[in-house]
Structure 1
Amino acid sequence: MSDAATPAEDEQPQAGGLAALVAARLCHDLISPLGAIGNGVELMQLTAAPGTEPPPELTLIGESVSAARARISCFRIAFGPASGEQRLSKSELESLLRDMAAGGRLRIDLDSQGDQTRAEVKLLLLALNCLETALPWGGRVLVCRAVPGWRLVAEATRTKPDPALWAWIGGEPCLRRQNTTPAEVHFPVFAAEAAAQGRQPRWEVDETGAEIAF
């Protein structure tokens, strides 16, 4: 094959960009069948005999489908591509944070006004994933918009600190855990996205709370 048929190196998608596109594609393709399942469950509930409660199994399926759809909607922004031109309204952000907390153990409160860029929301959701890892037994997170960035403050009865994992967000590269698992991938993804946006995040984790600022 001639060189003319090969795209120039600077036209090739970067690995990080390809991963984001794959994540967006997977989330997009999973949302539709989950929506169909949810609609089917609702129809089955509506056709129940008058005066009777739907079977608990059906209620459980409906709740699980709703939680899965909410989670995938968050993942689509957190791990998908984010253009600096795209913006989300406050109501859209509040809806995403409700989705983030749906079926989980975190309570998330938002203190922010106005629209936000999709790139900022992407970092915000990745940061919340990191806090969720630090608070596996649940807790409360206050998300504050403060010039010139964001501050996420989490409180809990106990946390699960992991300095080698948090070193991805800020710390010596030699301290970072390189063999991160799929359940921890949001840490290096957050670090890469923060660097791409020219941000220097800060973090702190103690026995009863955690904080991320960027």
Structure 2
Amino acid sequence: MNAHSTELAPEAGRLEAAQLAALIGSRLCHDIVSPLGAIGNGLELLQISDQFPGLAKSPELQLIAESVEAARIRIKWFRMAFGHVAADQRLACNELSALFREIERGGRLRITLDCTGDLPRTEARMILLALMCVETAMPWGGQVQIARTATGWRLQAEASRTRQMPVLWAWLDGTHGPSVAEPPPAEVHFPLLAAFARDHGREISWSVGENRAELAF
């Protein structure tokens, strides 16, 4: 190999695919948050400007402001659920509660968290992925209670109706079978939660009924 070769040497370090995916997720979320923040600041300046009377109360500007805020919240959720997490990182329960309050403002779920102290960021990531699974089952909205129990975490949700998709939920306990097609990108949280559970030695249990859903790990 000459001095100008771009090939990796055999002893060069390599990252696993999951690590690369998490780092890419963190990078994307980080880079998107900045322009969203700039757009939000610009909207605030327009709302307080006296050069555009009535603009602040216009339905068009309100729609843009609501969309920017919803996108900001979603990316914050994605960054914590899909991004890179160090093994020793921890998250305060009140920080997680604050994120849930933001998620409530931008969606149809109403979330209650029963937790004190702090928790590993790896567990917070699994909780957020589990919440995405519940959201998939309840696209019309519902009530979700999240509690730390003696054996782990439990999410219990109720709604007027649910969307039952057993093929997706089967990813969580490995009963999907080798011939089942991969899930669409919008539902990647199902196999991802299953993969994290395997990596951390956690077992997942779940059930979905006509107006309820439960997930525990």
TM over 0.5: yes
Partner of 1:167: 170
Q: Secondary structure, in 3 states, of the residue corresponding to 1:143?
A: strand
CA shift in 2, pair 1:154/1:175, >3 Å? farther
Give matches, 1:1-214, under 5 Å: 1=1, 6-8=9-11, 11-48=13-50, 52=54, 54-174=57-177, 177-214=180-217
Tell me by how many angstroms 1:148 deviates: 2.9
Name the TM-score, length of structure 2 as normaliser: 0.91
Q: CA RMSD in A?
A: 2.2
Q: Which runs of 5+ in 2 are unaligned?
A: none
Contact 1:48 1:54 in 2 (8 A): no
Contact 2:46 / 2:52 at 8 angstroms: preserved in 1? no
Greater Cα offset, 117-126 or 43-52: 43-52
Structure 1 residues 136 and 177: CA distance shift in structure 2, 3 A: farther
Of 99-108 and 63-72, more deviation after overlay is shown by 99-108
AA in 2 matched with 1:74: W
Structure 1's consecutive aligned runs of 4 or more residues displaced over 3 angstroms after TM superposition are 48-53
Q: Secondary structure at the match of 2:146?
A: strand
SS of residue in 1 equivalent to 2:177: helix
SS of residue matched to 1:151: strand
Count of aligned pairs: 213
Q: Which blocks of at least 5 consecutive residues in structure 1 are unaligned?
A: none
1:132-171 alpha-carbon deviations (Å, 9 max, x no partner): 0011111110011112310000101111111111011114
Native 8 Å contact 1:169 1:190 kept in 2: yes
Q: Percent identity?
A: 51
- TM-score scaled by length of structure 1: 0.92
- SS of the aligned residue for 2:172 comes to coil
Question: Structure 1 residues 179, 5: CA separation in 2 closer, same or farther (over 3 Å shift)?
Answer: closer
Alpha-carbon separation, structure 2, partners of 1:148 and 1:65:
39
Distance 1:22 1:151, change over 3 A: same
Distance 2:99 2:172 in 1: 23
Residue by residue over 1:47-103, the C-alpha shift from the partner in whole angstroms, topping out at 9 and shown as x without a partner, is 147995532211111111111111101100100121221111122111121233332
Q: Is contact 1:112-1:144 (8 Å) kept? A: yes
Q: Which moved more, 1:122-131 or 1:55-64?
A: 55-64
Deviation at 1:188, TM superposition (A): 0.6
Moved more, 23-32 or 98-107: 98-107
